[in-house]
Structure 1
Amino acid sequence: MKLKSLQSVFVIAEIGQNHQGNIEVAKDMILEASRAGVDCVKFQKSCLEEKFTKKALARAYNSPNSFGSTYGEHKRFLEFSIEQLKELKDYAESCGLIFSSSAMDKVSFDELKQLDLQFIKIGSGDTNNIPFMRYIAQQNVPLIVSTGMQNESTVRKVVKIFEDANTDIALLHCVSSYPTQVEDTQLSHISRYRKLFSNIPIGYSGHEIGWECSCLAVLMGAKVLERHFTLDKNQKGSDHIVSLDPRDIASLVEKVRLIEKNVQLPVMPDDLLDVVTKLNLFENPQGFIGRACGPVGRKSIFPCELMCKHKLGKSLVYSRDLRKGQRLEELDLSVKVSEPNGIPAELFDDAVGKEVKRDVCYDDPVMESDIGQFETTHGDL
């Protein structure tokens, strides 16, 4: 598929890890998503040792949503092998659906590439992994890239990486808060992205409860729509509460197609209320639209995202032991979820060349105290 040639809105049911680690449940979810009329089902793939430091995997995970006593045990319980994903791809295609997956690291990307997927998804937490973005830009694979937990400077830098490589991408506005409150969805960033990146299809990946914001996203010009999908919102797991069940997602697809049939897209902000009212998309739209579609400035990391960023945001870590006085080279640095958090991953280029002020160990996060303060080079473009 050519993302830049999308004609109708491309609706993705994000199954993620809502399958509870059970491949038969995953197949049931694929079948229900097919019956609901979505275009695509999407899963997730991680190599845990590539994505997390050892300390992050060993972190205690005491939560009603936990499938293990540590975060590593929890993630291993939910992780499908590449062979299982191949089985699910075959099943999805037999149901008439496109199958895809997020790649959370280079090892997972290379495995997924062997499945000959029509696109690979890059989740919000990985978008600031600059060396990973440079690698995948050279792989001739269409990419859908989410931008939650990222500021505008990082988004622009990543888009430039893909544009320079002539990569076929779609860019999704996203807020990494579970659930996202309506006033935090800041849907006007869709319009801002459409102006900033006029040659790229823009979409929306939503984590709010309900589907009203998704309808507004389509009206504002979103060409890709991604929503988490579940069979039961009351199941164990942190994503179920923000997911759409089969009835919800079928209603959303119906409304998206109704919009496409009856509306010239995109709709200007001042016309949103009239269109929503005319099509009877949802009740009490006036106050709702004002909360979801207010004016925005430059993209920033929103306060509601800080909890997720602390838990799953990527940091620079050392890829080998280093002695005090050595200067960092690219091969000395990796990007992982670390415990504790280190220097944010988007500062990879700025850290290269810095002198290490103490002996450091493999897999430890790079701290400001290790290399000192420095001015960033990418700034606001």
Structure 2
Amino acid sequence: MTVTIGNRVIGGGRPAYVIAEIGLNHNGDVELAKRLIDVAADAGVDAVKFQKRTPEICTPEHMRGVPRETPWGTMTYLQYRHRVEFDRDQYIEVGDHATLRGLDWFASPWDVPSVHFLEDLNVVAHKVASASLTDVELLEALRQTGKPVILSTGMSTIEQIDRALEIVGTDRVVLMHATSTYPMEPEEANLRVIPVLRDRYPGVPVGYSGHERGLQISVAAVALGAVAVERHITLDRTMWGSDHAASLEPTGLAHLVRDIRIVEAAMGDGVKRVFPGELAPMAKLRRVPA
């Protein structure tokens, strides 16, 4: 089973589809978002992803008036949420920039109006954030789009994943193993869930969405068969904002893509053979011929 997003095929032995999650790390700045897109393209990823919210819907009532210190001064949490959201023209600008750099781009809609907003921009796919896996209304709206859906499974039980797949279907879904700790410690990665998900949902491509520090866990996920890898990216992990600390900086992202491609080449086909490079050592070192 494969899923096609844009002109890239995911699964079926193809190279892992690497997604650079910009999320809100652009801090509401179009030029910063474009710089992050350039970082992603230069590193060799396949796609960049954002997050789209309707603040009045997604901000809990008890949080709306809470003061928050921001780079733009003290404001309410609701005002901050508005401040970091891109409008239609801004999304067109950053989306066009991603397309010109050869990248797919899409977003995680956190509510139904955001699904319609992104559909109006003709995104190639939709991403379901782990926090939204139990949002039946959102999942139904995504099913109706007919677009591929990338479904993250952090903070979720197997039963909740079952229910989500019943709603969105399994014909155009990429399931992403995830643990929603920011940043995530290795002890919570639980990478052995990747083959468990693959066995439980035959035909559904399974990838990995990571929030850890460093590269090792994401590379190990590919060795375990992850068909897609998603990581947050930033220009600088010390920047203001909630996701920067669990993000990869430009050099780290470039190294991640490099290491993923090396591991893919190293996995081989599972057929034991004598390689050409072994013939000279064999002639030199093997005392008893077969």
- Please report how far the alpha carbon of residue 102 of structure 1 lies from its aligned counterpart in structure 2 after TM superposition: 1.0
Q: CA separation in 2, counterparts of 1:197 and 1:257?
A: 26
Q: CA separation in 2, counterparts of 1:220 and 1:67?
A: 46
Contact 1:68–1:77 (8 Å) recurs in 2? no
Choose the corresponding residue for 1:37, options 27, 31, 44. 44
Partner amino acid, structure 2, of 1:23: V
Contact 2:54–2:111 (8 Å) recurs in 1? yes
Q: Which residue of 1 aligns with 2:81?
A: 75
Q: CA separation in 1, counterparts of 2:9 and 2:201?
A: 15
Choose the corresponding residue for 1:250, options 249, 254, 273. 254
Q: CA separation in 2, counterparts of 1:265 and 1:45?
A: 40
- Please report how far the alpha carbon of residue 73 of structure 1 lies from its aligned counterpart in structure 2 after TM superposition: 2.1
1:118-129 matched pairs, under 5 angstroms: 118-129=124-135
SS in 1 for 2:105: strand
Write the deviation string for residues 202-224 of structure 1: whole angstroms up to 9, x where unpaired: 11110110111000111111111
SS in 2 for 1:190: helix
- Please report how far the alpha carbon of residue 180 of structure 1 lies from its aligned counterpart in structure 2 after TM superposition: 0.6
SS in 2 for 1:42: strand
Write the deviation string for residues 141-175 of structure 1: whole angstroms up to 9, x where unpaired: 11101111111111111112222xx6511111111
Q: Which residue of 2 aligns with 1:20?
A: 27
Quick check: 1:216 aligned with 2:223?
no
Gapped runs of 5+ residues in structure 1?
267-381
SS in 1 for 2:75: coil
- Please report how far the alpha carbon of residue 135 of structure 1 lies from its aligned counterpart in structure 2 after TM superposition: 2.4
Write the deviation string for residues 262-285 of structure 1: whole angstroms up to 9, x where unpaired: 21489xxxxxxxxxxxxxxxxxxx
Q: CA separation in 2, counterparts of 1:101 and 1:67?
A: 27
Q: Which residue of 1 aligns with 2:186?
A: 182
Q: Which residue of 2 aligns with 1:160?
A: 166
Gapped runs of 5+ residues in structure 2?
271-290
Q: CA separation in 2, counterparts of 1:38 and 1:232?
A: 18
Q: Which residue of 1 aligns with 2:286?
A: none
1:239-278 matched pairs, under 5 angstroms: 239-264=243-268
Partner amino acid, structure 2, of 1:102: S
Q: Which residue of 1 aligns with 2:279?
A: none
SS in 2 for 1:203: strand
Q: Which residue of 2 aligns with 1:271?
A: none
Partner amino acid, structure 1, of 2:245: I
Q: CA separation in 2, counterparts of 1:30 and 1:132?
A: 27
Q: CA separation of 1:182/1:67 partners in 2, compared to 1, >3 Å: closer, same or farther?
A: farther
Q: CA separation in 1, counterparts of 2:45 and 2:190?
A: 25
Write the deviation string for residues 119-156 of structure 1: whole angstroms up to 9, x where unpaired: 11111111110122122212201110111111111111
Choose the corresponding residue for 2:54, options 47, 68, 71. 47
Choose the corresponding residue for 2:18, options 11, 17, 39. 11
Partner amino acid, structure 1, of 2:159: S
Choose the corresponding residue for 2:237, options 223, 230, 233. 233
Q: CA separation in 2, counterparts of 1:28 and 1:196?
A: 40
Write the deviation string for residues 301-343 of structure 1: whole angstroms up to 9, x where unpaired: xxxxxxxxxxxxxxxxxxxxxxxxxxxxxxxxxxxxxxxxxxx
How high is the sequence identity, in percent, across the aligned residues? 34
Q: CA separation in 2, counterparts of 1:232 and 1:265?
A: 39
Higher strand content, 1 or 2: 2
TM-score by length of 1: 0.66
Quick check: 1:146 aligned with 2:152?
yes
Q: CA separation of 1:214/1:67 partners in 2, compared to 1, >3 Å: closer, same or farther?
A: farther
Aligned length: 263
SS in 1 for 2:154: coil
SS in 1 for 2:208: strand
Write the deviation string for residues 60-86 of structure 1: whole angstroms up to 9, x where unpaired: 446x89975332122122111122111
Q: CA separation in 2, counterparts of 1:158 and 1:68?
A: 38
Contact 1:15–1:29 (8 Å) recurs in 2? yes
Partner amino acid, structure 1, of 2:197: Y
Contact 1:11–1:253 (8 Å) recurs in 2? yes
Q: Root-mean-square deviation (CA), in Å?
A: 2.0
- Please report how far the alpha carbon of residue 261 of structure 1 lies from its aligned counterpart in structure 2 after TM superposition: 1.6
Partner amino acid, structure 2, of 1:180: M
- Please report how far the alpha carbon of residue 5 of structure 1 lies from its aligned counterpart in structure 2 after TM superposition: 4.3
Partner amino acid, structure 1, of 2:252: D
Q: Which residue of 2 aligns with 1:58?
A: 65
TM-score by length of 2: 0.85
SS in 2 for 1:80: coil
Q: CA separation in 1, counterparts of 2:239 and 2:141?
A: 37
Q: CA separation in 2, counterparts of 1:68 and 1:123?
A: 28
